[in-house]
Amino acid sequence: MDIIAEIINNRVKKTPFYNNSKFFCILKENCTSTFKICIINKNNIEYHKKELCGICFLSPKYYIYTLWKERVIEIFEKDLLVGTMIVKEIKNPILNRALKYKNQENILNDKTTLNTALKRHLEWGKEMKISFESKLLKDIPNISVGDIKKLTEYIKNISENILWDIYYNNYDRKTDKLKINSLSEIKNKYPWIDEENLKILHTQGMYYA
């Protein structure tokens, strides 16, 4: 058993999760992880119910340092999203990211890291199906658990502030134009954002407005 997780069954066909069922998840971008569940109380997990389960990854050595307590992971069966698991305890230390990487003192002052994270957060299309944490693990290999949480909250708040406070709240529906110079507002408030991300934010901001 590699971890203990709380599993929630959201199967499309509303059928139970059975003991020893196999599923897969994405722990890191481009890293599909197959696992087997061992239901602790031996009962099947009915639709929209949740149970504590032991999780056995079929090749855990390939997923080293990709997990931490309370990480939320989507569960797939073929191409379908069928549930969610929340990590409660890590039994196999080679999976425990908290044992490997330490927090940086200045991660929120690192312009390169911030722009990398913002770009991944703003992705549309099929990339939206990949969790932000999985993207960070690929693009910033040495990032710690604490810095993942810090970056996730920071980038999410900035994105929402820009898209809603700057664009949505300043859009004149009569003239079909913004009441302000949005790019100047963003540059003044967040001078670290690069030109590529500014263009993406402007496109998405006008779409949401």
> Which has more confidence, 42 or 144?
144
Instruction: Compute the distance between CA of residue 51 and CA of residue 6 in angstroms, rounded to an integer.
Output: 6
Contact of 192 with 113, CB cutoff 8 Å: no
Residue 42 φ/ψ region, left for φ over 0, alpha for ψ in the -120 to 50 degree band, beta for the rest: left
Question: In order of start, what are the domains of the chain with their CATH numbers?
Answer: 3-99 (2.40.30.10), 107-208 (no CATH)
List of E strands, the chain: 3-9, 22-28, 31-39, 50-57, 72-77, 80-90, 171-172, 177-178
Eight-state DSSP code of residue 100: T
Mean pLDDT, the chain, rounded, equals 94
Q: Provide the pLDDT for residue 208.
A: 83
pLDDT tens digits, 59-86 = 999 999 999 999 999 999 988 999 999 9
Q: Which amino acid is at 120?
A: R
Instruction: Compute the distance between CA of residue 35 and CA of residue 17 in angstroms, rounded to an integer.
Output: 13
pLDDT tens digits, 19-54 = 999 999 999 998 889 999 999 988 899 999 999 999
> Which has more confidence, 178 or 5?
5
The residue with tokens 């949480």 is 149
Helices (H), 96-191: 111-121, 132-139, 145-160, 182-189
| pLDDT beyond 80 at 88 | yes
Q: Provide the pLDDT for residue 171.
A: 86
